[in-house]
Amino acid sequence: MSVSKEEGCAKTGYEKVVSFLREQLLSGRLKTGDCLLPERELSARLNVSRPVLREALRALAMIGAVEIRHGIGTVVRQPDASTLGEFFSFFLAQHTDVVDDIMEARIAIEHHAIRLACHRARQSDLDELAAALDTIAETIRDPYEGGMADHRFHQAIVRSAHSPVLVSIYESISKLAMRSHLERREKIIEVEGIDEFLIDHHRLIFSAIVAQDVQRADELLGMHFEIGAGFRRRAIMLGAAHESTQVPPTGR
C-alpha cells in the first residue's frame, strides 16, 4: 500500500512534534505546567505546517501529555497512569497469549517493588496494606470483592516502593492484570485450602515488609506466585473432572 506525500509529511511532522516535546522535558527546559510556544512560532521552529502541528498536539492531549486551553495555549501536563493504561490495554489486547506476558511483567515489577518497600514503606503504606489484608479476610468467599482486595494489596506493595517509574509501569498493565486476576479467582475459590493460603500468606508477606526483611519478603512473594499457580492448576483439573461426569442430554 503506497503512502501519499501528504501522509508521509504528516507522519514526519508528528514525529517532530513528539520528539521536540520529549527532548524539552528530558532536558528540563519544559516542566509540568509550562506553556508551549504559540502555534505560529512552534510550527516555524519545527518546520511543520500548522494543521500537522494541531493534529500532533491533539494526539498528545489524548494521552494526557498536554492540555489545549482555549485562549491560553498548550500546557504541559503529567500524564495520568490510568490514561496510559487505557492505551496500553488496547495495544496489548490485540496480541495473543498476552495474559501470560502480563503476569510475567507483574511478577518482575512486584519482586523489585517489595525489596524497595522493605526500606521505603511509610506508616501510611503499612496502614494501606493492613486495610487490604482485613478486606481480604472479610471478603474471602466473594470472588469479585475478594479479588479486588487481593489486587489492592499487591498494588499497595508497588506503591510502597515509592518509585514513580515502577508505579507508572504497574498501573499501565493493571487493568489487564486485574481482569485476569478476577477470572482466576472465580476458578480457584472452590479449591480446598485456598482460604487459608489467601489470608495467611498475605499476612506473612506483610509481616516481612514490616520487619524490613528484604530476603524473606522476596522469597515469600516468589512462593506466593508459585503456590497460586498450583491452586490454578488444581482448579483446572477439578473443572475438567466435573465436566467429564456430566451426562449430556439424550436427543430424541
pLDDT tens, residue by residue, 222-243: 999 998 888 888 877 776 665 5
Residue 96, judged by CB atoms within 10 A of its CB (0-12, 13-18, 19+), counts as exposed
> How far is the CA of 229 from the CAs of 100, 109, 190, 222, 225, in angstroms?
12, 18, 15, 11, 6
Determine contact, residues 205/115, Cβ cutoff 8 Å.
Answer: no
Per domain, the residue ranges of the chain are 13-76, 82-241
Quote the distance between the C-alpha of residue 239 and its chain's center: 30
Q: What CATH class is the domain 13-76?
A: mainly alpha
**What are 121-132's pLDDT values in tens digits?**
999 999 999 999
Report whether CATH 3.30.930.10 matches the domain 82-241.
no
Please, what sign has the CA dihedral across residues 40, 46, 52, 53?
Answer: negative
pLDDT at 165: 85
Dist. CA 142–CA 133, nearest whole Å: 15
pLDDT of 7 reads 43
**Mean confidence (pLDDT) of the chain:** 83
> pTM (2 decimals)?
0.69
36: region left, alpha or beta (phi > 0 left; psi from -120 to 50 alpha): beta
Question: Please, which residues bridge with residue 31 across strands?
Answer: none
> In Å, what is the CA distance from 182 to each residue of 45, 138, 147, 177, 188?
50, 17, 5, 9, 10
The C-alpha cell of 62 is what? 489524548
